[in-house]
Structure 1
Amino acid sequence: MKVKPLALGQVRPCSVRPARRVTVAFRTSSLSSLALSTRTPLTSVSRLQAARCRPHSTNPCSSDHYDARVRNGMQSSTTKNNKDKDNCTGGGEQPSRAPYGRTGSVFPISSSTLFDAALTSIVGLGIIFLGGVAYIAWYKKNVLDKIEKAFDGGYDPVLALADFEKETPSKRLIENDQTMEHLRRKEQDCVDDIIKGNTRGHYYFLIGPKGGGKSTLILEAMRAIQAEGVSVLDAHPDLEVFRLRLGKALNYEFHEDSQTLLFQRRDPKEAGPALDIERALNKLEKVALRKAKKTGRPLVLVFNNIQHFNNDENGRNMLLLLQQKAEAWAAGGIVTIVFSSDDFWPCLLMHKAANRMHVLTIGDLSFETARRALGHMRLARDKPHADQSTIDQTVTLVGGRLSYLGHMAQMEDMLRGARDLVDWQREWLLSQIGLIPDCDDDVMDEQKWSTCSWLLLREFVRLHKEHQKECQAAGLPWDPTELPSIPYGRCRQIMTRTDFIEELDRSNIISIGVKLDVRPDSMLILRVARQVVEEEGFDDLLQNVRDRIDEIESLHRTREITFKDLNTGDNIRLRVEKGPPRLQ
C-alpha cells in the first residue's frame, strides 16, 4: 500500500505541541462521574484514561499516538526502576546511600551493612558491661558506707525509744537526774568501759534475772557517748525476724535494694536466714577494719535477750555462728560483742567453745541501796513523800529488783501495791507447779515436775529461815532481800530430776549464776514459797502426791496374766524359783 506524501504545508509538528483545553466525555459509567468539564490542561494520567475510552486513530501526529507514547514512556521508566532495585539487592555495583535513605546505616563505618550491625551490637554490649561493673563497684562501696553510718554517734533506734520521754526535760527532771548520780551501781563502771571500747581482746556475757537492770546498764553507757560505735538488737525465736532486726541495726538491706537481682537466676534467700546473717557479719567485718584504722578502738555490737533463741538445732547453730565471730573479732580487736540473757542455758552452751568470753552477773540491789532507790524514784515521779517505815516494808516484800521497785514507785499506796503483787505472784506460781492430790495418770508427768520443784523451794525456805535466825542470834545485821543459794550439784540431788532445773530457769522460778549457784528468781518467789511451805499440812500433801506418783508408776509396771479355757474345778499352779547369781 502506497502512502501518499503530504505537502509541506500540510505537515504539523508532533514533537512540540501546545497544550489544548478540551472537554473530554468518557463513555464508561465509571469514568462518566469524573468528566472533566473544566478548562484545565490534561495530565498524563488523564490522557491515559481518556485514551482507553476513545477509538484508536491512525494519524501518527494525533493525540492518540501522543498518549500512547506517554504510556510507553511511563512503562519503560517503571522497568528501569525495577532493574535498579534488583542491582541493589543482588550483585553488581551498589548505589551511593543517602544520609537518611531506606538502605544502609545512618553513620556507615564500612561498605558492609552486616559488619556495621555486628560492630554496633558489640559496642552496645560493652557499654552495658562497663556500666554494670561500675554499678556493682558503687553499690558495694555504698553498702559499706551505710553500715559505717549505723555506728555514727548521735542517733540509735533503741536509745531513741528509751529517751523519747526525755526529749524535752523539765527542770525537775534535771534535778532528779543529778540526785540519782549517787545511786550508780557498781557494775556500771565495767559496762561503761565495755561500751566505750576501752576493753579489747574479749567478748562479754551478761547474765541475771529478768528485770535486774542489764538493759538499763547498757543504755546508760550508750547515753554517755551518744551511742557512737555501738549498735543494739534483740534476739527472736524466728531467725527470719532476727535477720531483719540485724539488718535494721546494721543499716544493711541484704542486697534487696540492688538492681542486679533482675539478672540473678537463684533467689539469694533460698539458703535461709543463716546465710544472710553470715553475709551481714562479713560486711560488718570489713567496716570494722576500716573503722578501727580511723578511731583506734573496736565497734560494739550488743545481742540482747539471747535466751529467746530456741534451744534446738537451729538456735544452737545460730549461737555458735555468733560466738565464732565474737572469738575471731575479739582476737583482732576490731569488734566487741556483748551477749545478755535471763536464762543460763546459752551461757552453759557457749562455755564449751569459749576462749575469750568474760561473764558478768547482774543481780538485785541490796536492802540499803533499794531503800534509797525507791525514795528517789518516787521523788522523780512527783509522788507524795512516803515515810521510811513504809519504804522498808515495801522493799522487804518485793526485794531489790529494779523492775518491781519502779512499779511500786508509781503506786499511791505502796504497801497495798506490794501485797497485791505478792498475791498475784502466788496465784501464778500455783498455776505453774501447784500440787494435785489423788491425781490421775494423765497429769503424772506434770506432778513429777511440781513435786521436784517444791522440794527445791522448800530447801530455799529452810535456808532462808536458818540464816535469819543465825543473824538474830549473833546480833549481826540481816538483809531481808538476800536470797539463799544452793550449788548446782546439790540441786540435782534434791530434785532427783536434773532435766527439770533448766525448765525452772526458763519459767523464771529460779535463776542460775555464773558460779553455778542456784537461787530463787526473786524475793517475791521466795516470799510466796515461804507462805505455801509454812501452811499446815504442806509436808503431808507433798508426800501424798509423791506416793500417788509411785502408785501410778507401779501400776504401769504391773503386768496381767490371763488364763483362758478354764472350767470349774481346774487348778492353776505358779512356781517361782530364784537361784544363786551366775558369774560369767
Structure 2
Amino acid sequence: MVRLLRSSRGRLAQFIPRRDTKPRNFPIFEVGSSQDASDRQRKYAGNDGAGESAWKSSLSKMLEGAATALGSIGILGLAGYSYHWYYKSLVLSKMENAFAPGFSSLERAALSRQDADSPTQDDDWIPRAEQVTINGIVDGTIQGHYYLVTGEKGTGKTSMILKAMSRIEGEGIAMLEAHSNLEIFRIRLGKALDYEFHEDYIGGLFSFKGPRDTTPLLDIERAFNQMEKIALKRQEESGRPLVLIINGTHFLRDDEDGQHLLELLQQRAELWATSRLVTVILNSDEHWTTERLLRQATRLQVIPVRDIEKKIAIESVKNFRAKAFHEAVPTSVLEEVYSKIGGRLRFLSHVAKSRDMLSACETICEKERLWLLDQCWILGAEMDPGAENQQDICASAMIMAKALIAKEKELMRDKDYDGRLPQIPLHEARELVTNNEFLKALDHINIVTIDSRSMVQADSVAMQNAFRVVSSQPGFDEHLQETLDRLDELESLARTRELTVKDVWGGKGLRAVVESKSKKGGQEDVVVTIKGFSSEGGG
C-alpha cells in the first residue's frame, strides 16, 4: 500500500510545475533600523537627480533650437537688408551712368543722320540764330528755366538739339520720344534713365502689388525721384544741371491722361528750374501744348523755330551749290526757288541737294497740293449726311485758304513786302470757322499752323501756293457755298423735330414741326409750325 502511494505521487509530480526557487524583488515595507532608512533615502535621491538632469537637457536643447532659429532669422534679415542697400546703390549707379558721356541707342540713331565728314549729309551749311541759345541750354550754361521749342514740322528743331548734344558728347543729357500711351512713355523714360522701376528687384517675388503699383504715372514719379538724387550729386560736383529732353510732346493726347502727364512734367520742370537741378526741354509741333503749358507757367520760355529768312536762305543755297556741285546759280533762279518753297529747312535741304532745283520745287508743291485735296476737299450740294463732321473741317480749311489769300493780296500792295506768309490772329480765325476744334484739327494735319504768338498762317510757303492753286479753280466759290449750304441744311435737320397726328377728323390730321434756330450770342429761337393735311392727299 505504501509502495502504491509513493508511485502515484511520483507520477503526479511529473504533471505539477516546479516552483521557481529564485527570489523575486517585491517591495517589502517593514520597520527597520535608522541605518536602513538612510539607505533608502539615498536610493530615492539618486532617482530624483536623474529626472532633474533629463529636464535640464531638454531645456538646453530648446534654448539651442531657439538660438539657431533667431540666428538664422538674423542672418536672413541681414542678407535681405544688404541686398536692398546694394540694389538701391545699383539703381543710382546705373542712372548716373546714363548721364555719363556717350549716347543711348535712341540718341545714336538720331545722331547717325548727321555725318560731319560729308557736307551733303547735314544742314550745317544753313546758319541758325537759335543754335547758340540751344547750345547754352543743353550744355548747362543757361539755367533757371525750362523750355518749349516749338515750330512747324521740318524747321530744324530736333536737328539743332542733336547738334548741341553732339558738342558735349551727350554728357549730362537724357532724351526720349513722347508717346500717347502712358505705358510706352514709362518704358521709354526708363530706357533713357536706365531705370527698371524695381521690376528686377528680387524682393518683389515675395510680395503682392499694392495700390501704388497700379498706374504708369506713379512709376514716372518714382523715376523722377531717383533722378533728383543724381541731379543733387551733379550740382554739388560741377554746379551744372541735368538735361531731360522730351521730343515730340505733341504726340501726347489732348485728353485726361495726356493732360495729367503734361501736368506732372510741368510741375517737375518748374521745381527743377527753380532749384537749378534739371533743365527740361520739350519739343512740339502743335499749338495746343503751348496753350496748355502757358496756363500754369512761371519759368517757361518758348523758343519759336521758324522758317529761314529769305536773304539767309538764298545765300546759303548759293554757297552750298558752289561747294557741292561747283555751280554758280543765278540769283533769279534762287528767288524763284524761295517763292515756291520758302525757307523751310527740310525743303531747302532737299532742293539744294537735287540736280534740278526747280523740278524738285515743283514736286514739293505738287505733294502739298495733293495733300490738301486728299485731306480737305469739299463735297458740295450732294454731300452725304454721314460726312458732316469731316466736311466741317474741310470747309474750315477752304475758308481759311480764302482768307489767307485775301490777306496776302493786301500785303503785296506794300512795296516793302518780303514774301513772308500772311497771318491772321487766332481769335479772328476762330470767328471765321466758328469752332476752335476745327483749327486744332487743321494744325494737327499740317494744313495751317498756329505760332507761339497765336497767329494763324499756312503751314508752309508750298501750302500757301497750294491754297492759291485750289482756290483759283473755276467755280470754286460756288462749290464752297453749296457745301456750306448743305452743312447748314444738315445742321438744321438735326435740330428739327416733327410730330404728326393722323385721322383726327374725316381722314385729316395735323403736323407740328419744332425747329430751333441759333442766333448771335449763343441764343436760340424755337419755331413751331402747325399744318393740317389730308391722309389721302398726303399734305
TM range (shorter): 0.7 to 0.9
In structure 1, which of residues 425, 438, 463 is the aligned counterpart of residue 407 of structure 2?
463
Aligned 8 A contact 2:498 2:511 in 1: no
One-letter amino acid matched to 1:300 = V
Q: Determine whether 1:321 maps to 2:264.
A: yes
Gap runs ≥5 in structure 1? 1-86, 95-103, 105-109, 575-584
Match of 2:459 among 509, 521, 538: 521
Do structure 1's residue 300 and structure 2's residue 248 form an aligned pair?
Answer: no
What per-residue deviation string (whole Å, max 9, x for no partner) do you get for residues 241-266 of structure 1? 11111111111111122222222222
Match of residue 418 from structure 2: 479
| Cα distance change on mapping 1:238 and 1:151 into 2, 3 Å | same
SS in 1 for 2:380: coil
> Quick one: structure 1 residues 130 and 365, their matched pair in 2 at CA, closer, same or farther if it must change by over 3 Å?
same
Candidates 214, 236, 240, aligned match of 2:179: 236
Q: Within 5 Å, give how 1:190-205 maps onto structure 2.
A: 190-205=133-148
Letter in 2 for 1:464: E
Equivalent position to 1:387, from 317, 322, 329:
329
Alpha-carbon distance in 2 for matches of 1:136, 1:214? 43
List per-residue Cα deviations over 1:413-471 (Å, max 9, x = no partner): 22222212222221211121111112122222222222222111111111122222322
Asked whether the equivalents of residues 321 and 329 of structure 2 are also in contact (C-alpha less than 8 Å), the reply is no
Matched, 1:124 2:67: no
User: CA deviation digits over 1:525-553, x for unaligned, max 9?
Assistant: 11100111122221111112112222333
Please give the secondary structure, in 1, of the residue aligned with 2:281.
strand
For 2:491 and 2:475, locate their aligned partners in 1 and report how far apart those are by CA, in whole Å: 25
Report the CA distance shift for 1:175/1:539 in structure 2 as closer, same or farther (over 3 A): closer
| Equivalence map 1:143-154=2 (5 Å) | 143-154=91-102
> What residue identity is the alignment partner of 2:418?
D
In the alignment, structure 1 residue 497 sits paired with structure 2 residue 440? no
Q: How far apart are residue 558 of structure 1 and its match?
A: 4.1
- State how far apart, in whole Å, the 2-side matches of 1:275 and 1:501 are: 34
Which deviates more from structure 2 when the two are superposed, residues 128-137 or residues 258-267?
258-267
Corresponding position of 1:454:
398
Taking the aligned partners of 2:432 and 2:133, their CA distance within structure 1 comes to: 36
Residue in structure 1 matching 2:479, options 529, 532, 541: 541
Q: 2:499 touches 2:511 (CA, 8 Å); kept in 1? A: no
1:38 maps to none
Distance 2:234 2:477 in 1: 63
| Residue identity matched to 2:189 | L
Separation in 2, partners of 1:504, 1:166:
31
Q: Greater shift after overlay, 240-249 or 251-260?
A: 251-260
Q: TM-score, normalised by structure 2?
A: 0.79
Q: Does residue 1:140 correspond to 2:88, yes or no? A: yes
Measure the CA separation in 2 of the matches of 1:276 and 1:553: 46
Q: Which moved more, 1:444-453 or 1:540-549?
A: 444-453
Check conservation: 1:159, 1:223, Cα contact below 8 A. Answer: no
Q: C-alpha offsets along residues 176-230 of structure 1, whole Å, 9 cap, x if unaligned?
A: 98x946x421111111111121222211111101111111111111111112112
What's the CA shift string for 1:260-282, capped at 9, x where partnerless? Answer: 22222226884121111000000
Q: Name the SS of the counterpart of 1:450 in structure 2.
A: helix
Deviates more, 1:417-426 or 1:345-354: 417-426
User: Structure 1 residues 343 and 572 mapped into 2: Cα distance closer, same or farther (>3 Å)?
Assistant: closer
Q: What is the CA-CA distance between 1:348 and the residue it aligns to?
A: 0.6
CA shift at 1:493, angstroms?
1.7
In 2 relative to 1, CA 220–379 (structure 1 residues): closer, same or farther, beyond 3 Å? farther
CA contact (8 A) 2:213 2:219 kept: no
Q: How is 1:308-457 mapped onto 2 (pairs within 5 angstroms)? A: 308-375=251-318, 385=327, 387-388=329-330, 389-438=332-381, 439-457=383-401
Paired residues for 1:197-236 under 5 Å: 197-236=140-179
Which residue number in structure 2 is paired with residue 256 of structure 1? 199
Deviation string, structure 1 residues 352-394 (Cα, Å, up to 9, x no partner): 11111111111011122222333455577x5574733444323
CA distance in 1, matches of 2:192, 2:446: 29
How far off its partner does 1:283 sit? 0.4
Misfit runs of 4+, over 4 Å:
90-94, 174-177, 375-380, 566-574
Q: Secondary structure at the match of 1:184?
A: coil
Q: How many residues align?
A: 462
- Which amino acid in the other structure matches residue 137 of structure 2? I
- Corresponding letter in the other structure for 1:457: A
Residue 458 of structure 1 aligns with an amino acid whose one-letter code is: K
Q: Which moved more, 1:527-536 or 1:262-271?
A: 262-271
Alignment-mate amino acid for residue 272 of structure 1: T
Name the aligned partner's letter for residue 120 of structure 1.
Answer: T
Are positions 1:189 and 2:189 aligned together?
Answer: no
Letter in 1 for 2:436: T
1:39 — aligned with what?
A: none
Q: Contact 2:186–2:219 (CA<8 Å) still a contact in 1?
A: yes
Tell me if the contact between 2:111 and 2:162 (Cα under 8 Å) persists in the aligned partners: no
The alignment's TM-score, normalised by the length of structure 1, stands at 0.73
**Contact 2:500 2:509 (8 Å CA) reproduced:** no
Matches within 5 A, 1:266-285: 266=209, 270-285=213-228
Aligned letter for 2:484?
Answer: R
Q: Distance in 2 between matches of 1:421 and 1:292?
A: 48
Give, as a single letter, the amino acid of the residue that structure 2 aligns with 1:429: L
Report Cα offsets for 1:325-357 as digits up to 9, x if no partner.
011111111111111110011111111111111
Report what 2:36 is aligned to. none
| RMSD, aligned α-carbons | 2.9
Query: CA shift at 1:115, angstroms?
Result: 2.3
* Mean CA deviation greater in 389-398 or 354-363: 389-398
Gaps of 5+ in 2: 1-46, 513-539
SS of the residue 2:68 aligns to: helix
Q: Partners of 1:264 and 1:462 in 2: how far apart? A: 68
Determine helix, strand or coil for the equivalent of 2:503. Answer: coil
Asked if 1 retains the 8 angstrom alpha-carbon contact of 2:393 and 2:441, the reply is no
Change (3 A) 1:451 1:93: closer
Distance 1:404 1:208 in 2: 15
Q: For the residues of structure 2 that align with 1:488 and 1:512, how far apart are their CA atoms?
A: 8
Q: Distance in 2 between matches of 1:175 and 1:341?
A: 27
Distance 2:53 2:450 in 1: 98
Cα offsets for 1:4-34 (capped at 9, x unmatched): xxxxxxxxxxxxxxxxxxxxxxxxxxxxxxx
For the residues of structure 2 that align with 1:264 and 1:220, how far apart are their CA atoms? Answer: 46
Report if aligned partners of 1:344, 1:512 keep a CA contact under 8 Å in 2.
yes
Please tell me the residue identity of whatever aligns with 2:437: D
Per the TM alignment, residue 288 of structure 1 is displaced from its structure 2 partner at its CA by 0.5
Amino acid aligned to 1:132: G
Q: Report if aligned partners of 1:180, 1:376 keep a CA contact under 8 Å in 2.
A: no
Q: Which letter maps to 1:369? A: I
Check 1:242–1:176 CA distance in 2 against 1; reply closer, same or farther (3 A cut).
closer
CA 1:509–1:263: 2 relative to 1, 3 Å: same
Distance, in Å, in 2 between the alignment partners of 1:126 and 1:228 is 43
Cα distance in 1 for residues equivalent to 2:92 and 2:208? 25
- Greater Rg, structure 1 or structure 2? 1
* Amino acid in the other structure paired with 1:144: L
Separation (CA, whole Å) in 2 of partners of 1:563 and 1:266 = 63
SS at match of 1:237: coil
